[in-house]
Amino acid sequence: MLATRHVVCALSGGVDSAVAALLLRRRGYQVTGIFMKNWDSLDEHGVCTADKDCEDAYKVCQILDIPFHQVSYVKEYWNDVFSDFLNEYEKGRTPNPDIVCNKHIKFSCFYRYALNNLGADAVATGHYARTSLEDEEVFHQKHVKRPEGLFRNRFEVRNSVKLLQAADSFKDQTFFLSQVSQEALRRTIFPLGGLTKDFVKKIAAENRLHHVLQKKESMGICFVGKRNFEHFILQYLQPRPGKFISIEDSTVLGTHKGWFLYTLGQRAKISGMREPWYVVEKDGVKGDVLVVSTLQAPRTDHPALYRDLLRTGRVHWIAEEPPAALVRDKMMECHFRFRHQMALGPRLRAGQ
């Protein structure tokens, strides 16, 4: 008779992770719940709800009769996630801290703690995602040391685990898991991958998990909370006043506190302007933000807001190696998504 499999489930204090732990227990696994504290609420005058979330996660473990642990990754979060967040903004880019958090905290720090300190056979989260492995296959995965050096055989046959979209296309969270390592994916179970959000809520309601069911779903960046984003970011970055300038006639429309506060394509709230203006370009040298009004276009958009070319930094391949077609032809066709819940875009020709 096989020993009971031990799965350590990350609990956020929300309904999704609570139901994930419940489903794992129903499958007969030995389940342990862990709450991760990643942001120091004392620094933010109680804005972050980490303490309440921890209480809710603990109550979930009590209801399910499973062990509860709390770990703190405040230092790691600051160094690997928040510092990166600030650095990217200073460079004029718009980072996504959820993606970086999953990469460095949940599927690195938490993953290693679960396996090395708690003796887990696998880890689990409440993400809406799937992998190409069945649960039992996950338990048979062993750590595979990657070959060292740059000159690995790229065509070596590897049984790579694929990251697959969830059944609930609206809730699918593979966008946020796009930087997770192959090693972590091999030992991860996503119990909600085949379920819809409505069904998850139904399960919670039927299993005494009303305290998490009634909570509002967390949206946006945890460490910002309900505050004004501009006010928050300017606590950490120096203001760099500049002008909003129309690309149509170079008219100065107003002023701002920093060009890095704006994302290409976003609506720019310009004082005194009633019509919608959108960011087209940012001049980091002069500090100007170039904008355009869609009311000046024949439709509700403007050609200046579109691009037919984009350049990426280093690419993270979930399977660890580039697709054979790209290696062979230096070109491949792919679909793309640059925002959560955005439909996969039309085919994109990508080259090295």
pLDDT at residue 339 greater than cutoff 70: yes
Structure tokens at 305: 């807001």
CA 174 to chain centre: 8
pLDDT (0 to 100) of residue 160: 87
Q: How many CB atoms lie within 10 A of CB 137?
A: 13
Whole-Å CA distances, 34 to 57, 165, 193, 254: 8, 25, 20, 49
- 238 contacts 257 by C-beta, under 8 angstroms: no
C-alpha distances out from residue 194 to 20, 168, 285, Å: 11, 7, 49
Which pLDDT does position 43 carry in this prediction?
A: 47
Q: Is the pLDDT of residue 21 over 60?
A: yes
Q: Are 199 and 15 in contact (CB under 8 A)?
A: no
Output the pLDDT for position 82.
93
Buried b (16+ CB within 10 A) or exposed e, 138-157: bbebeeeeeeeeeeeeeeee
pLDDT average, residue stretch 238-243? 93
Give the model's pLDDT for residue 337.
80
The active-site residue out of 9, 54, 61, 222 is: 222
Q: What angle do CA 325, 328, 332 make, to 5 degrees?
A: 40
Per-residue pLDDT at 46: 46
Q: Encode burial over 51-66: b for 16+ CB neighbours within 10 A, e otherwise.
A: eebbebbbbbbebbeb
pLDDT tens for 76-116 read 999 999 999 999 998 888 888 999 999 999 999 999 999 99
Mean pLDDT, to the nearest integer, of 302-319? 82
CA angle 90, 236, 231 (to 5 degrees): 100
Q: Residue 256 contacts by C-beta under 8 Å, 6 or more apart in sequence? A: 241, 242, 243, 244, 262, 268, 289
pTM above 0.95, yes or no: no
Check residues 304 and 258 and name the one with the higher pLDDT: 258
Question: 330 falls in which pLDDT band (50, 70, 90)?
Answer: confident
**pLDDT (mean) for 222-226:** 64
Residue among 9, 54, 101, 109 flagged as catalytic: 101
What was the pLDDT predicted at 329?
Answer: 86
Reference 195, options 170, 165, 168; nearest CA is 168
Q: What is the b/e burial string over 72-91, where b = at least 16 CB atoms within 10 angstroms of the residue's CB?
A: ebbebbbebbbeebeebbee
Burial (0-12, 13-18, 19+ Cβ within 10 Å), 310: exposed
Q: Which pLDDT belongs to residue 77?
A: 93
Residues 242/259, Cβ–Cβ less than 8 Å: yes
Q: What is the pLDDT averaged over residues 142-164?
A: 63
Q: Can you give the pLDDT at residue 141? A: 80
Active site residue 9: no
Given a contact cutoff of 8 angstroms between Cβ atoms, the answer to whether 90 and 260 are in contact is yes
Q: What is the pLDDT of residues 118-150, one digit of tens each?
A: 999 999 999 999 999 998 889 888 765 555 554
Region 166-171 average pLDDT: 93
* Residue of 295 and 136 predicted with greater confidence: 136
Residue 101 appears among annotated catalytic residues: yes
pLDDT (average), residues 242-250 = 92
